[in-house]
């Protein structure tokens, strides 16, 4: 098995990957499938086939609790616009350029063509992800909606295709025993839907993280958890970790376009919300100066592996911005 695996899921039912529950019982949905949800679904597939005892085996612990990474599953439209990117504040004309990227030293404040002001991205999705809305309920014996069980939920539509990467020991999650896993359920008791089919490509290679001269550009596809030497949350990656993975010394963060995010979730077993934690938001972008340009192989590894802590829970996944007309490489 290779160091990384690309997986593509096709939704055979609508999928709701819930965000933090809201007080008005309207469930927000992610426009993608977070790595934590993918990891949970693969672990559930193992337990379904081999029983709960499997969770005690070293094989299970290395795969699901080890040093691997479970990245998020995205469509092209759901990836965030990097926070380093400026766009028109108002509608652009046909002749206007669409994006300026401060990570590439593009610091315009107005459009050359229409002179409209430019504003930094807030990390919104790059395109429009088609969603549908459904209301579901659970009834009591008296036939009334049980308290807290009436939800209006937006869901990713059937037939949507989403892709992402697993890295390191996490790639073993795709095989239970020697049997490949072909279907998964992203549903929970709270959604009752969410079947997908799974295609695995172990020959695909991730695009290497972007490199300009001796600098690399890192863009977060998922929230990231970094900490300083005292264990407090930090808003910048650990240069020692980057040096290890890149095989060259990472010297300095020369550009950072970041926001904080709050990451919570729902603990299905207890039916309670998980504690909300501080993380660097998806879309955050860093430009890191290295002692020399890292090799494309090392940059591919970093792209699939991600950065920071809790990568097995989907934190710190990276993505590479789509190629631009200016052809930066
Ligand atoms: Zn313009």
Taking 70 as the pLDDT cut, the residues of the chain under it are 1, 18-29, 136-152, 187-193, 265-272, 323-329
The tens digit of pLDDT for each residue in 193-212 reads 688 999 999 999 999 999 99
On whether both 10 and 54 belong to a single domain, the answer is yes
Domain endpoint, select from 137, 168, 201:
201
Residue 315: inside a domain = yes
Ligand 1: centre distance to CA 102 (Å)? 17
Quick one: 232 and 279 in the same domain? yes
Dist. CA 320 → ligand 1 center (Å)? 25
Local structure of 25: helix, strand or coil:
coil
Clarify whether residues 190 and 280 are in a common domain. Answer: no
Residues 170 and 23 in one domain: yes
Distance 79 CA to ligand 1 centre (A): 23
Query: What's the pLDDT score for residue 145?
Result: 60
The alpha carbon of 215 and the centre of ligand 1 are apart by a number of angstroms equal to 29
The verdict on residue 96 lying in a domain is no
Q: What is the pLDDT of residue 3?
A: 92
The pLDDT value given to residue 16: 77
Instruction: Looking at the structure, tell me whether residues 194 and 52 fall in a common domain.
Output: yes
Query: Which pLDDT belongs to residue 18?
Result: 59
What are φ and ψ of residue 48, in 5° steps? -65, -40
d(CA 44, CA 46): 5
Q: Separation of 124 CA from ligand 1 center, angstroms?
A: 20
The residue whose two tokens read 């972007």 is 210
107 Cα to the center of ligand 1, angstroms: 15
**Rounded to an integer, what distance in angstroms lies between the CA atom of residue 285 and that of residue 83?**
6
State residue 23's pLDDT score.
Answer: 43
Instruction: Please check whether residue 282 lies inside any domain of the structure.
Output: yes
> How far does residue 182's CA lie from ligand 1's centre (Å)?
47
Instruction: Tell me, yes or no, whether 170 and 280 share the same domain.
Output: no
Q: What is the pLDDT of residue 26?
A: 47
Q: How far is the CA of 100 from the centre of ligand 1 (A)?
A: 11
Judge if 226 and 307 occupy the same domain. Answer: yes
Same domain, 53 and 20: yes
Q: Number of folded domains in the chain?
A: 2
Kindly list the distances between the CA atom of residue 31 and the CA atoms of 7, 152, 158, 160, 167, in Å, as whole numbers in the listed order: 17, 16, 13, 11, 22
- Let me know if residue 229 belongs to a domain: yes
Q: Are residues 164 and 309 in the same domain?
A: no
Q: Residue 257 falls within a domain, yes or no?
A: yes
pLDDT at position 320, please? 94
Cα 91 to middle of ligand 1, angstroms: 8
249 and 190 share a domain?
no
In a domain, 187, yes or no: yes
Q: Identify the pLDDT of residue 140.
A: 62
The predicted structure's pLDDT at residue 329? 38
Q: Does 222 lie in the same domain as 192?
A: no
Pairing label, strands 118-120, 85-88: antiparallel
Question: Does residue 52 sit in the same domain as residue 160?
Answer: yes
Query: What global pTM score does this model have?
Result: 0.88
Q: How crowded is the C-beta side of 321, counted as CA atoms within 13 Å?
A: 28
303: domain range? Answer: 210-319
Question: Residue 109 C-alpha to ligand 1 middle, in angstroms?
Answer: 11
Residue 265 region, left (φ>0) first, then alpha (ψ -120 to 50), else beta?
Answer: left
Q: How many CB atoms within 10 Å of residue 264?
A: 13
Record the tokens describing residue 214, joined without a space.
């001796």
The secondary element (H helix, E strand) that includes residue 47 is: helix 35-50
Confidence at residue 123, expressed as pLDDT on a 0 to 100 scale: 92
Residue 117 Cα to ligand 1 midpoint, Å, equals 8
Q: Distance, CA 70 to ligand 1 centroid (Å)?
A: 39
Q: How far is the CA of 275 from the centre of ligand 1 (A)?
A: 43
Which CATH number is 254's domain given? 2.60.40.4350
Using CB atoms within 10 A of its CB, is residue 56 exposed (0-12), middle (13-18) or buried (19+)? exposed
Among all chains, which residue has been given the structure tokens 């993380």? 279
Report the interhelical angle of 58-65 vs 35-50 (nearest 10°): 170
How much distance in Å is there from the Cα of 253 to the middle of ligand 1? 31
In a domain, 258, yes or no: yes
Domain's final residue, options 201, 232, 260: 201
Cα 229 from Cα 95, distance rounded (Å): 49
The rounded Å distance from CA 120 to ligand 1 centre is 14
The SS3 of residue 244 is helix
**What is the 122 CA–ligand 1 centroid distance (Å)?**
19
Task: Look at residue 90 and tell me if it is in a domain.
Answer: no
């Amino acid at each position: 098995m290779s160091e990384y695996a690309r997986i593509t899921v096709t939704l055979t039912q609508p999928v709701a990957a819930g965000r933090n529950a809201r007080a008005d019982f309207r469930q927000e949905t992610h426009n993608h499938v977070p790595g934590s949800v993918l990891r949970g679904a693969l672990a559930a597939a193992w337990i379904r086939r081999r029983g709960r005892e499997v969770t005690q085996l070293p094989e299970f612990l290395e795969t699901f609790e080890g040093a691997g990474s479970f990245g998020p599953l995205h469509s092209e439209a759901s990836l965030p616009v990097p926070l380093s990117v400026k766009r028109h504040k108002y509608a652009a004309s046909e002749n206007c350029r669409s994006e300026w990227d401060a990570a590439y030293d593009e610091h315009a404040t107005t459009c050359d063509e229409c002179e409209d002001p430019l504003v930094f991205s807030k990390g919104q999705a790059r395109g429009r992800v088609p969603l549908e809305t459904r209301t579901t309920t659970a009834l009591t014996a008296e036939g009334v909606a049980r308290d807290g069980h009436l939800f209006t939920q937006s869901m990713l539509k059937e037939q949507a295709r989403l892709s992402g990467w697993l890295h390191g020991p996490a790639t073993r999650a795709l095989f239970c025993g020697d049997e490949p896993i072909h279907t998964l359920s992203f549903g929970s008791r709270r959604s009752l839907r969410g079947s997908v089919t799974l295609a695995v490509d172990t020959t695909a290679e991730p695009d290497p993280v972007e490199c300009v001269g001796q600098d690399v550009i890192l863009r977060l596809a998922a929230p990231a958890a970094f900490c300083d030497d005292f264990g407090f949350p930090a808003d910048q990656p650990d240069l020692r970790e980057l040096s290890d993975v890149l095989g060259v010394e990472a010297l300095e963060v020369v550009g950072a376009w970041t926001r904080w995010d709050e990451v919570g979730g729902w603990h299905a077993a207890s039916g309670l919300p998980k504690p909300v934690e501080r993380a660097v938001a998806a879309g955050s972008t860093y430009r890191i100066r290295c002692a020399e340009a890292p090799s494309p192989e090392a940059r591919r590894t970093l792209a699939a592996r991600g950065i920071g802590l809790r990568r097995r829970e989907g934190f710190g996944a990276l993505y590479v911005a789509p190629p631009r007309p200016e052809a930066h490489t």
